[in-house]
Chain A
């Protein structure tokens, strides 16, 4: 089945230790998004790609970086995670009517 896959589902890291979250899609969609969602809050857009064109949100901290080596894969790199970065990280792609298809998310814990 065509889908958006995120690995790992749960990630534990230490304060300040770099971590990479991965996302892959079999939908062949041009647009991919990364969101951060904290408990009982709306998903917050960090950045998105239109093909290889990278678009950073103005309030996304420099601590967050992203790579998209090809259509299928997208990575979120957190260079120096702080306690405030503990959250669910959601990857999504954009469909034909601009609906977004979300992956299952990666829940990040920072110790």
Chain B
């Protein structure tokens, strides 16, 4: 069974540009969550999608958005990039909503975004 796939692995952008990251969950998983990892901040929750609906959103500005398609694949978009957006963006999938009892997240390898 294939794991969570994130593309691209690395991205270099300049300030003001926008970027779209892609995530394909494990087959059969309906929930996709996005996290931002920066040194010293751990994994900061961005949002979660379940059956194409945004179920929850973290404390990030509106420049961060996402969506989920009918095949459960998800995309995350960041507009008007800032230097502080440089981070590892991780996608995780789960069978049901991530906060369901005993539910585990399965993470992809992430997309390393560098904003110059």
Task: Say whether A associates with B.
Answer: no
